[in-house]
Structure 1
Amino acid sequence: MTTPPRPSRRAVLAAGATGAAAVAVTGSPLPAQAADARAFAHGVASGDPRPHAVVLWTRVTPTAAATPGSGRGPRVEVGWEVATDPAFRRVVRRGRAVTGPWRDHTVKVDATGLAPARWYWYRFTWAGRRSRVGRTRTAPAADSTPGRLRWGVVSCANLQAGWFSAYRHLAARDDLDLVLHLGDYLYEYAPGEYGLGRDNVDVRAHRPAREIVSLADYRQRHAQYKTDPDLADLHARLPWVVTWDDHESANDAWRGGAENHQPAEGDWARRRARAHRAYDEWMPVRLSGSAALGDGTRLYRRLRFGRLAELSMLDLRTYRDQQVATPLVDGEVGDPGRSITGDAQLAWLRESLTQRRAQWKLVGNPVMISPVTFASLPGALLDPVADVTGLLPRDGAPYNVDQWDGYTADRREVLDTIADRGVRDTVFLTGDIHSAWACEVPFDTGSYPLPPGRASGAVEMVCTSVTSNNLKDITGTPPRTTSLAVEAAIRADNPHVKHLDFDSHGFSVLDVTPERTQMDWYVISDRADRRAGATWSTSWRTLAGTQQLRRAAAPVGPR
């Protein structure tokens, strides 16, 4: 079907599509009415909070034929409004946005002119119909000194591998400022691939029923995830800050290809461009600093939270060189000509760490930066561990070369910057590896255990997966059996690894104060159970100025 012509950028701006056309509040609001779940079937979301602005998102379905990825449906105008109360008695910003099939009928606006560190409620309207109400929060003023930040932290949510109970439990909390998603928001696989456990059982089958490759495919997969009720509730409850890892495009992606991209699937650059386009359309995120589409694909960015913390979100897929094949043979992991960040992003990250804008330097890091060797793992467990972590086969000391261990020159530059500039209070917040880790990031692994007076370069806290398989799932063994030997061996080989849990799924809560940063890990009872419960597992903290980790006796309490 022929796609209607896309309106000019000037016309879109005039209609308020980027929030630039937000207007003073005048006129009467629509009569009170319930949300229309058919017109706004994919919910609402917000993200990338700034002190005076936040990104708002929805999708409208103007006709029955205008399904995600269909390329069908008319051009429409959607209204949006922001209020200081959930009943919308005090609307403070209002605007209109143009959408249509050229952007899959998604709406993304940058609502500006807001007050710092404040809760707001927002909604969208079209043809007399309303979306559900969303709640969001702006960031603290740049020159303020917040006493605390508290975030939910998640990654690796594979719809085929289980229910999103972790999202449900986060949405039920009333003490969070935002959700930090560290990658693998969705998965590209076909039904029957990479489901639950050893047999890859599909708890829920992906749509479309194939590996996603085309733009329509990626749009449909985003739409399917957005209709999960637990994910939709968490999006409506809190603003999100996100980055992509590999499965938003294809497994083990690098700048020139991916493990899960074959020649028969076409040109990699075109496939990645489709994935990035759909991500820009469907996620409440600014690419290249803008909520408008087509302004660029730069995802790495900074968000300030007063003088307490600055969050640097990394993109470790778009610019990286290909993963090495035999690291213990060719030595390429340390080649300074190879990069996981790309030169521009590495320089940007070093600048983020050395500026004195905020006390805590938080880094949203899609793959682990802490060095990990596995020399003493039992041979029978190498293959299952490789399945979870991406390790290479039995070289005697396998590495996960998909993370920073495969690009050690970049890691050395980061750590040298920290050492040379006297950087303190750096915390890497990481996903990807489907397990819980608390690590000190050493300047030199040979210095461990650290003598009195010595410190590491940073600390790293890694959240579990929401649903994606971990070690017990791959081995088919009960929790806290086979994994115990693996965890003990890894900690023995790597004394800077303070905590490791290869068995759990769930979410984390990060709590930041001027005195310390703490992460609490929560585990769900059964990802195959739609009503799974959640329990606290463990907590680790780093005191300001120490670059070391200590176990905390309990999770953070009520605010």
Structure 2
Amino acid sequence: MLRCGYVGCFAWLLVVGGVTGAAVADDVVGPIVGTVESTSAHVLYRPRASQTKLRLSVVQDGQTVATVPASTKPDDDFVAKFEVTGLQPATTYHYQIDELGPSPTMLVPADSAHHFTTASPARKDNRVSISFVSCVDIEPNGIWPEMDALDVDTAFLMGDTPYIDKSDLKTVRQKHRQFLQQPDLASLAAHTPMVGTWDDHDFGRNNGNGRNLLEGKPNTRKGFVDYRAHSQYGNGREGVYHKVDLGMIEVFLLDPRYFSQTEPSPVDPSKPTCFGADQWEWLLTGLRQSKAPFKVLAMGAIWQDKKNTETDDMFTYWYERDALLDIVKSENIDGVVLLGGDIHVARHLMHPQRVGYDLHDFVISPGHTRTITELDVYHPSLQWSLVEGWQFLTMTAEETDESAKLIVQFRQPGGVINRTVTIAKNQMTAATDRGAVDGPRAHWPLDDDFTNQSKLGDRIDAAPVHGATLKRDSGIIGGAVRLHRDQQQYLNVPRSFLDDNSAAYSVSLWFKPTSLPAHDSSSRSFLLESTAEGQPENRGAWSLSLGLRSADTADQVNLQLFTSTLQPGSLPEAAPTAISQGPFDTLVDRDRLMDQWNHVAFTFDSQSLSLFLNGERVARHPLPIPGPTSEFGGLIIGGHRNGVGRNFDGWIDEVSIWQRSLTQSELAKLSDAKASLAD
């Protein structure tokens, strides 16, 4: 049995029955319920490819409570749009569409298939459930009846819905019509609000942006606007961004395509924009004003690096992404989550304390069955992934017993739930205590165990390798770890503790060497170095690197720094790349270090590295190419990235790392063994 209203079934049968192109162009589309908020609703309907006058009647308990006229015009591909205002919140209405004339003709009956329910504006003691899907083609799909069965409050189409890859207006409109005519989708959209944004394939070009589709994007935007019933379409002239307020959840539907590469970024005029100035201001204003407990920043692209040759992700525009997240953090905007699509892999990432609290980042793709295993790539924040088709995601915000939470589920047809993530509202509120905000991101006291004592918790506990042991009352404060070079001992931290592409950080530790690299030798020993993917391996990812090696003179040793930073792309549309910088040498007297405790620290501010020894700055090294740190996955303490081969010989204690560049006075205080981290 076809699951659709009679007009939708008729349209689908015309398409699949092999009717000529002229007949297909005359098909019915809709009715489609679009944006529905607490007091308003939007509906679109295309009865045929000719001009006519229509009337939508809104019915409650058998009584007509509102009527809205509309006309179909060739400029809009004969699609009528109805906007109904003045409705009651949290109320179910049926609707009827009549063709006007000497004798009005009912085209859509106000029956059980044609209704909508306005949103509740309540910010508490409420429940809202929504769904997201991306990458869906014009073909039968089990997701639509599954969403129907779940009775979601709004369904969001997150781009590549459908695949068009053309920018001539005739083709764009035809693809949108055929997509919306699919029976199960038509049945769902006749009573469930369906809105969304676009990604590259419905924007009009694979890896498309506003610059390389400059000539075609007015057509693809026109076709998108014709076949969506939204309350807003970008700034009214360009773009398709908008938002939907559902009380407990406010969804910001972003457009990373239309404006990208067309103007300077509002956060860095030397670089190209992704969102554009108008959308940027709209987004910041909306976030600052939002009263919803949960705020979803949703788009078709992903917020991280796809790690392929394409540039349509927010890693390419890391400066705009990071500026947005920094504003969320600095202005204490709570309840934010990220959502993307595009890559034909479903993923869940959690960026620890990125915005003053843990930032959850969901990728939902694909809605069809064509997966891309190569895009299931490593990221230090990755929690889970699944490379399977017919995937969609639900978010349910609810508050019971004064405890609000967001429940996120990765789903497939047949009631399959692949992953559930439950986030309590009180876990999505930024700390107001400056000590908690500015305190260390990582701190390994190395007294009684190898656990991390910062707010990142056991996520970054260190693990001893090859018998590295702690000895109580042997450190500068309490215990310390003893590392034997001849046994290749070290500590491994399995995950990153800094934000992606950190603009600043500081590292502090105490060390007491029992041997140093011999003069006139090529041996090296490392106090610490970052790893590529959280485990020892000989791959370049030395964003953090501090080691010791011999100097030209016998009485000195070289305290040597390296780093790896992002280098802007060489072309306007090129993604940034990681570039190694260093070595940065600092010569120190051997006698100053040997067999005694020394405090060493270094700071990074995207412009330079500074090295401090026992409270004094001993070197400042400007970076030949300024930029933030590149991605890394973990840390080796007492060795280099490969774990073995260049190990430190001696004692290490009180290792701490901050997500900011500490001042010289702060570092001087840390070099006082009696000073507390909280002082």
Deviates more, 1:499-508 or 1:44-53: 499-508
Q: Tell me, yes or no, if structure 1 residue 167 matches structure 2 residue 167.
A: no
Contact 2:221 2:240 (C-alpha < 8 Å) held by counterparts: no
Q: How does 1:383-422 map to 2 (within 5 A)?
A: 391-392=308-309, 401-422=311-332
CA distance in 2 between partners of 1:94 and 1:40 (Å): 25
Q: How does 1:107-118 map to 2 (within 5 A)?
A: 107-118=80-91
Q: How does 1:256-405 map to 2 (within 5 A)?
A: 256-258=211-213, 268-269=214-215, 271-288=216-233, 296-306=237-247, 308-321=248-261, 337-355=271-289, 357-369=291-303, 371-372=304-305, 391-392=308-309, 401-405=311-315
CA distance in 2 between partners of 1:222 and 1:288 (Å): 16
Amino acid aligned to 1:350: L
Residue of structure 2 equivalent to 1:240: 194
CA distance in 2 between partners of 1:279 and 1:356 (Å): 27
In terms of fraction of residues, the more helix-rich structure is 1
SS in 1 for 2:36: strand
Aligned with 1:106 (options 79, 96, 103): 79
C-alpha deviation, 1:542, in angstroms: 1.8
Residue of structure 2 equivalent to 1:3: none
CA distance in 2 between partners of 1:359 and 1:537 (Å): 26
Change (3 A) 1:146 1:93: farther
Amino acid aligned to 1:84: Q
CA distance in 2 between partners of 1:256 and 1:431 (Å): 22
SS in 2 for 1:354: helix
In terms of fraction of residues, the more strand-rich structure is 2
Amino acid aligned to 2:212: G
Contact 1:42 1:226 (C-alpha < 8 Å) held by counterparts: yes
Q: Tell me, yes or no, if structure 1 residue 513 matches structure 2 residue 447.
A: no
Residue of structure 2 equivalent to 1:226: 180
Aligned with 1:424 (options 334, 337, 344): 334
TM-score, normalization: structure 2?
Answer: 0.54
Q: How does 1:207-226 map to 2 (within 5 A)?
A: 212-226=166-180
CA distance in 1 between partners of 2:356 and 2:35 (Å): 33
CA distance in 1 between partners of 2:423 and 2:135 (Å): 25
Q: How does 1:6-45 map to 2 (within 5 A)?
A: 37=10, 41-45=28-32
Contact 2:71 2:80 (C-alpha < 8 Å) held by counterparts: yes
Amino acid aligned to 1:111: V
**Residues 504-558 of structure 1: CA distance to partner in whole angstroms, max 9, x if unpaired?**
322221111242212111124xxxxxxxx45221111222132499xxxxxxxxx
Residue of structure 2 equivalent to 1:137: 117
SS in 2 for 1:247: helix
Deviates more, 1:405-414 or 1:112-121: 112-121
CA distance in 2 between partners of 1:545 and 1:151 (Å): 21
Contact 1:415 1:457 (C-alpha < 8 Å) held by counterparts: no
Aligned with 1:539 (options 413, 420, 423): 420
CA distance in 2 between partners of 1:111 and 1:274 (Å): 27
- Which protein has the larger Cα radius of gyration, Structure 1 or Structure 2? 2
CA distance in 2 between partners of 1:240 and 1:146 (Å): 25
**Residues 36-76 of structure 1: CA distance to partner in whole angstroms, max 9, x if unpaired?**
94797222111111221111111011xxxx3xxxxxx3x31
Contact 1:156 1:468 (C-alpha < 8 Å) held by counterparts: no
C-alpha deviation, 1:119, in angstroms: 1.8
Structure 1 residue ranges without an equivalent (≥5)? 1-32, 67-72, 190-211, 259-267, 324-332, 373-388, 393-399, 445-453, 473-482, 525-532, 550-559
C-alpha deviation, 1:401, in angstroms: 3.1
Q: Tell me, yes or no, if structure 1 residue 523 matches structure 2 residue 464.
A: no
**Residues 243-289 of structure 1: CA distance to partner in whole angstroms, max 9, x if unpaired?**
1122223222211124xxxxxxxxx43x2111111111111123348
Residue of structure 2 equivalent to 1:121: 94
Contact 1:152 1:508 (C-alpha < 8 Å) held by counterparts: yes
Contact 1:49 1:55 (C-alpha < 8 Å) held by counterparts: yes
CA distance in 1 between partners of 2:269 and 2:381 (Å): 24
Change (3 A) 1:360 1:228: same
C-alpha deviation, 1:455, in angstroms: 5.7
**Residues 358-388 of structure 1: CA distance to partner in whole angstroms, max 9, x if unpaired?**
221221222221x45xxxxxxxxxxxxxxxx
Residue of structure 2 equivalent to 1:16: none
Q: Tell me, yes or no, if structure 1 residue 48 matches structure 2 residue 2.
A: no
CA distance in 1 between partners of 2:6 and 2:253 (Å): 37
Q: CA RMSD in A?
A: 3.0
Contact 1:434 1:464 (C-alpha < 8 Å) held by counterparts: yes
Change (3 A) 1:169 1:432: same
C-alpha deviation, 1:147, in angstroms: 1.5
Q: How does 1:435-450 map to 2 (within 5 A)?
A: 435-442=345-352
CA distance in 2 between partners of 1:347 and 1:366 (Å): 20
Aligned with 2:132 (options 127, 139, 153): 153
Residue of structure 2 equivalent to 1:200: none
Quick one: higher RCO (CA 8 Å, sep 6+), 1 or 2?
Answer: 1
Contact 1:157 1:186 (C-alpha < 8 Å) held by counterparts: yes
CA distance in 2 between partners of 1:345 and 1:336 (Å): 19
Change (3 A) 1:110 1:101: same
Change (3 A) 1:288 1:503: closer
TM-score, normalization: structure 1?
Answer: 0.65
SS in 1 for 2:427: coil
CA distance in 2 between partners of 1:522 and 1:356 (Å): 28
Percent identity between matched residues is 21
Change (3 A) 1:496 1:334: farther
Residue of structure 1 equivalent to 2:344: 434
SS in 2 for 1:513: strand
CA distance in 2 between partners of 1:146 and 1:365 (Å): 28
Structure 2 residue ranges without an equivalent (≥5)? 12-25, 430-455, 457-679
Amino acid aligned to 1:130: L
Contact 2:203 2:257 (C-alpha < 8 Å) held by counterparts: no
Aligned with 1:93 (options 66, 80, 84): 66
CA distance in 2 between partners of 1:232 and 1:274 (Å): 24
Amino acid aligned to 1:506: Q
Q: Tell me, yes or no, if structure 1 residue 82 matches structure 2 residue 55.
A: no
CA distance in 2 between partners of 1:233 and 1:279 (Å): 20
Change (3 A) 1:232 1:168: same
